[in-house]
Amino acid sequence: MLHAGSLGVPVVRLPTLAQLRTYMEYSGWVCQPPGVGGSLWGKGEARIGVPAIEGNDSVIAKGILDRLATHEGTTTALLGPRIRYHRMDVTLLRAANDRRITDTIPFEAASTVISSARKLLRAAGTTAWNERGEIGGNYARRGDEVLRKARMDHTQEGSFIIPLLVPLPEPEHRSYEQPALPGVEVLLSPPEPFERRVTRTFAQSIMAVKEIILDPEHSPTESDLYSVVERGVSREFCSALAQILAEPAVGEFETRFGWAESLPAPSTMPDSVVIDSDASQKIEEVAIQLKRSRIDARSTFSGSIVELRHVTDEPFGWVTISTVRRGRVSEIRIQLPFERYQEAVSWHHAQRAVIVEGQVRIGPGRRLIVDDPVKCRPIDEILLPLL
């Protein structure tokens, strides 16, 4: 799986002192009580001093980066991006055309790519909160908050590449350990931050467009439309993607995903999705269909597994999904046959988001429960038959 630190991104700027401190804490360096001149960080026998200064100093930052790279047996060119993107999901947006995009790009084409990329992220931010075939101007406030925090790094050489950065919140440090009970197996993990859910929705949406809408030779069916909507695709997402592909200077559009090192990566999400420009008309037709069909995906929900529970000798197990339901962050517990539960354990270890369809009821303690799901499977298995 591609990580932000393995994107091959050249060091454009040095990490900030704050980014260096965050990375050092994450990688096991311990900060001694600060003195007048700064703090001394230690790891084993190694020591690195970090001066107490306001703002950033490139000379000091480079010195710390050099010492960290030496300690880790790597180069500053490789370590610098890892530290800069340590808490950022990175999406590289690449517009390519062998004849019209070389060392420069037509200004109109660049403007189209950037403005449409904003629409793609905004649409994904809304459908990450509430899947729907058409947003119709009703964008989610939480999604727009992620959009406002997103950054664009300097463009890179090699076609026309825009690094889109989505900062993640500081990882939760609370304990998810639970006292062991005789005969009860429990696995717990923290919920997926909404910012990561937005980037994941972006990735699974563009993958769904490619593999469900474009790869098959037939026109998309009503079932196909339902499948892409429940994965986050909307009319607005399709229209923005078609707008990029319809630009005369764009021969193909590629998205590459690098996941922040500070949070376990969804290991089966695509590294890269490439769509040729001749797909623009088919995608625009799907946008029109989504507007007409008004696909209702309210019976499905998706999210990360935050709890697995099984009692010895019982023929079933329980899987708890952290998701968004009716405009609220929720946890829904699903009952699965033991064989299916064992599969869910492997999904959890691989950080695979899950999609569920079924009737939600309110159980004891007002817990949300699905007793007999119509389907429960990894959301990335989009080409497999429904189970």
Which value, to the nearest 10 degrees, does the dihedral of the CA atoms of residues 35, 38, 44, 46 take?
Answer: -130
CA distance 316 to 337: 4
Q: Do 144 and 22 fall within a single domain?
A: no
| The predicted structure's pLDDT at residue 189 | 86
| The predicted structure's pLDDT at residue 102 | 60
Q: Do 156 and 272 fall within a single domain?
A: yes
Q: Do 65 and 93 fall within a single domain?
A: no
| The predicted structure's pLDDT at residue 1 | 41
Q: Is the pLDDT of residue 173 over 80?
A: no
| The predicted structure's pLDDT at residue 158 | 57
Which CATH number covers residue 358? 2.40.50.140
Question: Which is higher by pLDDT, 219 or 269?
Answer: 219
- Listed in sequence order, the residues at least 6 apart from 188 whose beta carbon sits closer than 8 Å to its beta carbon are 176, 177, 178, 306, 307
| The predicted structure's pLDDT at residue 125 | 97
Question: Which is higher by pLDDT, 337 or 183?
Answer: 337
User: Mean per-residue pLDDT for 205-231?
Assistant: 92
Domain end call among 50, 84, 118: 84
| The predicted structure's pLDDT at residue 157 | 64
pLDDT tier for residue 159 given thresholds of 50, 70 and 90: low
User: Mean per-residue pLDDT for 184-200?
Assistant: 90
> Which pLDDT tens digit goes with each residue over 373-387?
999 999 988 644 333
Please give the radius of gyration of the chain, using alpha carbons only, rounded to the nearest integer: 23
Report the mean per-residue pLDDT for the chain.
87
- Expressed as residue numbers, the domain containing 13 is 4-84
> Which pLDDT tens digit goes with each residue over 259-314?
999 988 887 787 899 999 999 999 999 999 998 887 777 778 999 999 999 998 89
User: Mean per-residue pLDDT for 182-204?
Assistant: 89
Question: Which is higher by pLDDT, 184 or 182?
Answer: 184
Report the number of distinct structural domains present in the chain.
3
| The predicted structure's pLDDT at residue 328 | 86
> Which pLDDT tens digit goes with each residue over 103-119?
678 888 889 999 999 99
> Which pLDDT tens digit goes with each residue over 119-154?
999 999 999 999 999 999 999 999 999 999 999 987
Three-class DSSP category at 4: helix
Q: Is residue 183 part of a domain?
A: no
Q: Is the pLDDT of residue 10 over 50?
A: no
Q: Is residue 80 part of a domain?
A: yes
| The predicted structure's pLDDT at residue 275 | 96
Q: Do 133 and 213 fall within a single domain?
A: yes
Question: Which is higher by pLDDT, 185 or 165?
Answer: 165
pLDDT tier for residue 75 given thresholds of 50, 70 and 90: very high
pLDDT tier for residue 325 given thresholds of 50, 70 and 90: confident
Question: Which is higher by pLDDT, 228 or 100?
Answer: 228
Among 297, 298, 340, 350, residue whose Cα is nearest residue 319: 340
Domain end call among 293, 310, 341: 293
Among 15, 39, 41, residue whose Cα is nearest residue 28: 41
Q: Is residue 251 part of a domain?
A: yes
Q: Is residue 185 part of a domain?
A: no
pLDDT tier for residue 345 given thresholds of 50, 70 and 90: very high
Reported for 46-55, long-range contacts at CB under 8 A and 24+ positions apart, including other chains, are: 46/71, 48/24, 50/17, 50/20, 50/21, 50/24, 53/17
Among 273, 126, 133, 160, residue whose Cα is nearest residue 214: 273
pLDDT tier for residue 87 given thresholds of 50, 70 and 90: very high
Bridge partner residues of 3 (DSSP): 259
Reported pTM: 0.88
Q: Is the pLDDT of residue 47 over 80?
A: yes
Q: Is residue 328 part of a domain?
A: yes
